[in-house]
Amino acid sequence: MSDLAPLQMVAIGLIFVWGSLVRSGIGFGGAAVAMPLLLLIVDSPLIVMPVIAVQLLIFAGITTVTRLESVDWGYIGRSFIIILPFKIIGLVGLLNLPGSVLSIAVFVLTGAYGASYLLGVSFRSNSVWLDRVLLALGGYASGTSLIGAPLLVAVYVRHVASERLRETLFVLWMLLASMKLATFLATGVNMQWQAQLWLLPCAAVGHVLGLKVHRHLLRAQGGSFMRVMGAVLLGVSLAGLARVIF
């Protein structure tokens, strides 16, 4: 990202503030709201995924290190048995599919999430088999693009107590991000270390803001906030698809 124009760098910094705010505010969705916007500026998800994964590890770790007793380790272990093989398949696809295919996948998935938020229709799990399907799809989506969170949350919200959900999800994101970073390092993907340095403070600002408005965002999750975010996600995704296809 060293060849970006100053205005593009400012835009990317603001996007990282926004994504970090959403992640720390509601416990998931940071990559889902940031990635489509980032792909309007950069050409490939592989350029920004290392930065997002490192930031997720840092700030999720800071949030959970003093609240490990709130983590539902048992359900993480049971669910990860299902998630892991599909996560690996997703990582293989990430490294072998063309950048345009990955971008389209990101925009389509994000657009689906945006439409569900806008219409007030959430991904819900109410059976053992549906749990397994959503965990598998979420694992695969997180492997290819880091935006499988809504699918995984749909299952976790049914099995994890509400007071333990946020920290449990953060630990899950850390496990998934660690696998992605290990794959990047092993295969020689550019980790964008210079960009990491100037984008980390941007993410820190968003993280602090997200913590301050955490309760407000949770109260508004099923109302106007989620509908507005859904409209934005859907609009950005349609614009991104048009940019990639045409």
Q: With a threshold of 0.85, does the pTM exceed it? A: no
- Of the listed ranges 32-46, 65-79, 193-207, the one predicted with least confidence: 32-46
Q: Which of 83, 48, 25, 19 is nearest to 221 (CA)?
A: 25
> Is 154 a member of any domain?
yes
Domain count, the chain: 1
When mean pLDDT is compared over 18-22, 104-108, 154-158, 227-231, the highest value belongs to: 18-22
pLDDT band, very low/low/confident/very high, at 138 (cuts 50, 70, 90): confident
The domain of 184 spans 6-245
Least confident of 4-13, 20-29, 72-81: 20-29
Block residue for tokens 């020689």: 188
> So what's the pLDDT on residue 218?
55
Q: Is pLDDT at 123 greater than 70 in this prediction?
A: no
The stretch 192-216 carries a mean pLDDT of 86
Identify whether 14 is part of a domain.
Answer: yes
3-state secondary structure of 227: helix
Tokens standing for 130? 């549906």
Residue recorded with tokens 């290190």: 65
CA distance 15 to 13: 5
In angstroms, the CA 65 to CA 123 distance is 29
Distance CA 168, CA 222 (A): 21
- C-alpha 33/C-alpha 231 separation (Å) is 11
Q: Does the structure show a pLDDT above 70 at 124?
A: no
CB 183 within 8 A of CB 141: no
What does the pLDDT read at residue 204?
94
Q: What is the mean pLDDT of residues 97-113?
A: 73
Q: Mean pLDDT over residues 171-185, rounded?
A: 91
**What angle do the packed helices 45-64 and 193-212 form, to 10 degrees?**
50
- Residue 221 in this model has a pLDDT that exceeds 60: no
- H or E segment at 31? helix 30-38
Of 41-55, 68-82, 205-219, the one with minimum mean pLDDT is: 205-219
| Mean pLDDT of the residues in the chain | 82
Domain-embedded: residue 165: yes
Q: What is the pLDDT of residue 4?
A: 78
How would you label 170-193 residue by residue, b for 16+ Cβ within 10 Å and e otherwise?
bbbbbebbebbbebbeeeebebbe
- Examine residue 110 and state whether it is found in any structural domain, yes or no: yes
Q: Classify 238 in phi/psi space as left (phi over 0), alpha (psi -120 to 50) or beta.
A: alpha
Quote the pLDDT of residue 83. Answer: 95
Look at residue 115 and tell me if it is in a domain: yes
Residue 201 pLDDT class (50, 70, 90 cuts): very high
Determine the Cα–Cα distance for residues 183 and 114; give it in Å rounded to an integer: 29
Q: What is the pLDDT of residues 11-51, one digit of tens each?
A: 999 999 998 988 887 777 788 778 888 888 888 888 888 99
C-alpha 212/C-alpha 181 separation (Å) is 29
Over residues 99-113, the mean pLDDT reads 73
105 HSE (CA, 13 A, CB side) = 21
- The reply to whether 1 falls in a domain is no
